[in-house]
Every structure is written in C-alpha cells, then in structure tokens.
C-alpha cells in the first residue's frame, strides 16, 4: 500500500518561504519583518504567519522584540568571528580524523550531495542548492566518523547559513554563478579523494573566506575589538591558504 504523504501546512509553507528570504539575503540581518507586507506577499492571514515566525525564532533566524516586533536576527562582526572560527576548528578536527578517508563508502554521502547541488543549479533552485550545499559540508565533516563532531557542526547550521547569505552577496558582486559554485565543491571533493590533509585544509581555506570577509567591514557592526583584530589579522595575513583564523 502506498503511503499517503501529508501536505505541508500553511505555517510550514510560510516558514519555508520566509526562511528562504532570509538565507538568500532578500531579508537582511537586523531588518524588520513587516507582517502586513508578508501576509499580502504570501497570501496568508496573520495567525499562521505569526506561528511561522515563532518557528523561525526557535531556529535562531528571527528575534522578537516588544517594541520592534519581529526582526531578522542581527549579525555583528563578533558573531561572524565566533561562527567562523568555531566552524574552522570543527573542520580542522574533521580533517585530522577523516583524511585520508579510512572508509571509502563514507564518500558516497559527499557525492550524493554534490549531485543534488548539480540538479539544483540546473533547475536554478536556490533553496535546494543551499540545502544540498550544507549537506555536502556536513558529509565532509562526517568523513571523520565522529558522530558528535558532525552533530556539533550541524548545530551551527542556521548561523552558518546567515553568514553564507552575506557570502552570496559578496559572490554576486564577483559574478559567481551556481555552476561555478558547484565546480568549487567538486574541486574540494577531488582534493579530499587524493588524501592529503594539508591540501584539503588549503582548499577549505580558499573555499570562500576571502570573498566573504572582503565585504564585511562596511556592512556589519564590529561588536568587539577582538573581532576587529581577528578580521585585520585574517585580511593582512600572507598567502598561506592552509592557515585559517
């Protein structure tokens, strides 16, 4: 007997649409979420919209304020500093444990995610591309065979994707297409297959940090002197792609 799949509710559809607006950069960190505009844009009433916003608040994408209402979670440079340095440490540990790949079958997840990225790029489906791209990076961390390490990486998912929304804006100025984005990930996977840990670290380091960081100073509040020192050290460091902040 074929299982009947329950269709998504209005709340789920609204949450998915608003999540995509945030992660694509259409709604920017710190921007107020105007309910009147969204009810008209999404064709829904206020109750399901507000429930969708509560779900996104739980995910960390929305922040509710008694005076401002709902806003996209603001990002300061210090937030980016914490997110990116933690991401780098988790990836470094994954490289230590997972490269060379001890069990080749673990690469299947990476290739499956890459094929998903290719299909999404061909279909010009930005939401699906983001989902498959995150699964690709989680699968790379999963090469370590360390379940808790991958869980820790996944727990940063939405925060990393908020940063990636800024990263996509930087790449838009540099005319990177979905196809070239997929090619970067294919190149990373080929380097992983070759089994040199330092080469993998170098590829991860050049995988997007510089184009992302180049556009940060004018668009984010500092948040801390520590974050400013970090950004300056990363931007002024000599070309050593194996070293990350």
Eight-state DSSP code of residue 69: E
User: In this structure, is residue 61 part of a structural domain?
Assistant: yes
Whether residue 104 is found in the same domain as residue 190: yes
Q: What is the CATH number of the domain that holds 193?
A: 1.20.120.530
17 inside domain: yes
Reported as a pLDDT band with limits 50, 70 and 90, residue 159 is confident
* Domain endpoint, select from 72, 101, 122: 72
Say what the pLDDT of residue 3 is. 56
The reply to whether 146 falls in a domain is yes
Q: Is residue 171 part of a domain?
A: yes
Residues 163 and 90 in one domain: yes
> Are residues 133 and 49 both part of a single domain?
no
Domain count, the chain: 2
Q: Quick check: 77 and 228 in contact, CB under 8 A?
A: yes
Classify residue 244: in a domain, yes or no. no
Rounded Cα distance, 164 and 169, in Å: 9
Higher-confidence residue: 28 or 196? 196
Nearest to 163 by CA among 81, 71, 49, 53: 81
Within 10 angstroms of residue 15's Cβ, the number of other Cβ atoms is 23
Q: What is the pLDDT of residues 46-88, one digit of tens each?
A: 999 999 999 999 888 999 988 888 999 988 999 999 998 999 9
Whether pLDDT at 147 is above 90: yes
Residue 120 sits in the same domain as residue 65:
no
226 contacts: CB under 8 Å, gap ≥ 6: 78, 81
This prediction's pTM? 0.80
Please give the residue that has the higher pLDDT: either 167 or 106: 106
pLDDT tens digits along 160-199:
888 877 766 555 656 678 899 899 999 999 999 999 999 9
Does residue 81 sit in helix, strand or coil?
helix
115-140: average pLDDT: 93
pLDDT mean over 38-45: 94
d(CA 243, CA 38): 43
Residues 142 and 89 in one domain: yes
End-to-end Cα spacing for the chain: 54
Whether residue 43 is contained in a domain is answered as yes
- pLDDT at position 164: 75
Say whether both 102 and 204 belong to one domain: yes
The pLDDT value given to residue 8:
76
**pLDDT of 114 over the 90 cut:** yes
Spatial distance between the Cα atoms of 19 and 237, rounded to a whole number of angstroms: 35
Has residue 3 been placed in a domain? Answer: no
Res 167: pLDDT: 60
My answer on whether 63 and 90 are in the same domain is: no
Q: Could you tell me if 157 and 222 lie in one domain?
A: yes
Sign of CA dihedral 233, 235, 239, 245: positive
Query: Domain check: are 90 and 169 in the same one?
Result: yes
User: Percent of the chain beyond pLDDT 90?
Assistant: 57
Q: Provide the residue range defining the domain that includes 38.
A: 10-72
Same domain, 90 and 175: yes
What is the gyration radius of the CA atoms in the chain, in angstroms? 19
Are residues 146 and 210 located together in one domain of the fold?
yes
Q: Which of 72, 104, 120 is a domain's end point?
A: 72
138 and 196 assigned to the same domain: yes
* CATH number of the domain where residue 41 is located: 1.10.10.10
Boundary (domain end) residue, out of 45, 72, 99: 72
Instruction: Give dist(CA 187, CA 136) in Å, integer.
Output: 13
């Amino acid at each position: 007997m074929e299982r009947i799949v329950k269709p998504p509710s209005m709340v789920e559809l609204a949450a998915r649409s608003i999540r995509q607006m945030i992660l694509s950069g259409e709604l920017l960190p710190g921007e107020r979420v105007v309910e009147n505009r969204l009810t008209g844009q999404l064709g829904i009433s206020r109750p399901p919209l507000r429930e969708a916003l509560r779900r996104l608040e739980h995910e960390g994408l929305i922040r509710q304020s008694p005076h401002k209402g709902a806003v996209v979670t603001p990002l300061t440079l210090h937030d980016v500093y914490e997110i990116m340095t933690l991401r780098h440490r988790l990836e470094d540990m994954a490289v230590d444990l997972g490269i060379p790949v001890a069990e080749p079958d673990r690469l299947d997840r990476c290739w499956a995610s890459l094929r998903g990225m290719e299909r999404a790029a061909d279909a010009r489906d930005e939401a699906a591309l983001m989902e498959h791209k995150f699964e690709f990076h989680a699968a790379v961390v999963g090469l370590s065979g360390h379940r808790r390490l991958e869980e820790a990486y996944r727990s940063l998912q939405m925060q990393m994707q908020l940063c990636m929304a800024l990263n996509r804006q930087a790449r838009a100025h540099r005319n990177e297409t979905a196809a070239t984005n997929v090619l970067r990930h294919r190149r990373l996977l080929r380097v992983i297959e070759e089994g040199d840990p330092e080469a993998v670290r170098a590829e991860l380091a050049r995988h997007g940090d510089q184009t992302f960081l180049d556009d940060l100073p004018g668009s984010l509040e500092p948040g801390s002197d520590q974050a400013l020192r970090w950004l300056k050290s990363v931007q002024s460091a000599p070309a050593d792609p194996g070293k990350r902040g």
